[in-house]
Chain A
């Protein structure tokens, strides 16, 4: 015990040794911090790419659902389903816009900007189509025009 106490005391008295330990710990911390930062960044990039890819598939499927809506829905002139879809699409588009803004602000992620912008404009286009479809005034005036032809 005495010997251990002595060792302990010697260890703490030896400033060179404690400095070495402290610098080793801090360098481990730095490496750990950098490692996790890089890992976080890589996982963010992977997620954004995955999100863009999923976006195209989702938009394609949503367009199929929308185009076939009048044959599948019991009410041919139903606006409610389209209003629901418009609500979802609009919220996704708005969130995508936030993601796009965050990416645009970062120099490091600039290479993701083009893909994200393309996906955003696809969402925007779908939101515009849904807004047209669920607008009763648009449907009424176009139906009248088509009826007069």
Chain B
């Protein structure tokens, strides 16, 4: 069993998403709860050594949005401490290009890094 770390920057991302998709809040929470049992979901990003960084796609059938056009949840897994750190969640169709997504994600990760000591 893994423990889930929700940094404050992630909580604000999730709050914004919940505001836009209130009917899908339970689905998103279920997906996050599933990570406790099975953190090896989604696509793995290589190059992080023993840690894993993964991305899962979440469809929103309540809004007729398929998995490929739905939400993206990026999280990190630290197997030796059994921690799953939620990094960011975003709605893919909100962004024009992958560069916009990366720029926004890096900003958010910067916030996570800055507040991590208080979040731990």
- Inter-chain CA distance A94–B95, complex, in Å, is 16
Q: Mark A126-141, 1 if CB is under 8 A from B, else 0.
A: 0111011101011101
A-B contact pairs, 25 of them (CB 8 A): A70-B49, A79-B47, A82-B47, A121-B69, A122-B68, A125-B57, A125-B68, A129-B45, A132-B98, A133-B46, A133-B47, A138-B105, A138-B106, A138-B109, A141-B109, A142-B48, A142-B87, A142-B109, A145-B76, A145-B109, A145-B112, A146-B51, A148-B120, A149-B76, A149-B83
Nearest residue (CB) in A for B76 is A146
Contact partner of A137 (CB less than 8 A), chosen from B46, B92, B106, is B106
Nearest residue (CB) in B for A66 is B46
- Contact call A145/B113, Cβ cutoff below 8 A: yes
- Nearest-Cβ distance from residue A85 to partner chain B, whole angstroms: 11
Main secondary structure of the interface of B (DSSP, over half): mixed
What is A's interface to B at a CB cutoff of 8 Å? Answer: 63, 66-70, 76-79, 82, 118, 121-122, 125, 127-129, 131-133, 135, 137-139, 141-146, 148-149
